[in-house]
Structure 1
């Protein structure tokens, strides 16, 4: 029998958009991770006679102004864009989750201090703060590409912390008052054990669902930083491809179209997955 939700309607399973989004992300991640093993052209190689040529049987996405294969660069560029944003999201999930849970569990002065810190972080425009951090700690032209990439990831992680912390705090305040938590306190369990064993498993689904949406935002921010020439400009990423292709947009629009399209589809897929996971988290919170 199909399970019904609180309003009397039938509970829906994963829809078509969810499956398509999940499939897109799986294929993209596998292609990016195995790009060196796939029969792709060298993304750094220049091919004669195809400068700014459009899509063809030989070059599926065409070639850029100096003969690079756009398809190969798009696949290899996904590796850096996804890796940097994913690492930053995981770091933001750990740090922001810890701050939010501590604030929501202990409340009072500690909660006030943490909330004030989060509000200060949220008051600073994200892209401006990321530009300032990377430009100060890893100046373009002087810092090594590895150092620039590390500081881009750190800047993105800092951007992820306050939003994730607010979600963790709100969820912790709900679950910390449930009966099973009060029973654990009565039995003398330590606060750390209660937070890790009782509260965290219930808070984590909401944090993870929000992290998917946050990951989509960080992918766009990473591309924006690369577009402005911040970070490692020696490799391949979607932002760099868009930056390099803007000068030839009139004659070779495909050099910007395909990396932009891949980024758009990836961000859309992450939002669809995040919305679906949020719906499941809300249903679980209502006890259905």
Structure 2
């Protein structure tokens, strides 16, 4: 009963199977994946632009390039060997690892909502950023983006691995490399386009005559709204993706109370949308997953600060 990123990762897994068929099929699999992975691109594209906010426009593309390189390093140097070792020796551990990633995403999403409601942490963060040098702030934001990417990349690799685990180890490696390159290129290509859209608008606005100047002015005025909206979508995406992973994992362990409740919500909303029952079922399960992510992530967000203060006091 996958949804959100989990549903799209099922498609990525199908791409991995295609890539595993033969070396000649890798190119065809990559072309097919460019349309199938759009949900993953939306999730990452919604989260990543915040990491260049508050920095010099001249540093936007270099920062995205640094994050993209970090993403590839996550996938190829750390996650790929770990995935192959899991496949060979601990295949049962894939689902628990996925669930740990889901807990982290749910925690991040819930923490952002709590901070936006209280406002204090956000204001303090802005003060801290203002006190940092541009290079230190850039390094901090790049590090945060790469850590978040590590979780999302881990989910991609684990789901793709689960679909090619019956293949020879060399074929598994080739399939996972193909998926890694495809997803990284797609995600950060779209992110680069989003963050530079205002510069494109400014260039068009300087044109003489025609509709291009008006289009350019519209892009310049609209991009702050778009980026703000993407930040909110990113927070919701963390909750629905993290919650969806947790629901899916509970179902794998035959703990069916929460999965059945999510399925009931999906059926109920599908019943309210007889003109598009498939979309209604997806929307219902996405909403249920986001609620699960918010509740579980909120509990973690409440517990983490006192624990951190306790350890800090002991230190």
**What's the TM-score, normalizing by structure 1?**
0.30
**What's the TM-score, normalizing by structure 2?**
0.28
Between Structure 1 and Structure 2, the one with more helix by share is: 2
Bigger relative contact order, structure 1 or 2, given CA contacts below 8 A and separation 6+? 2
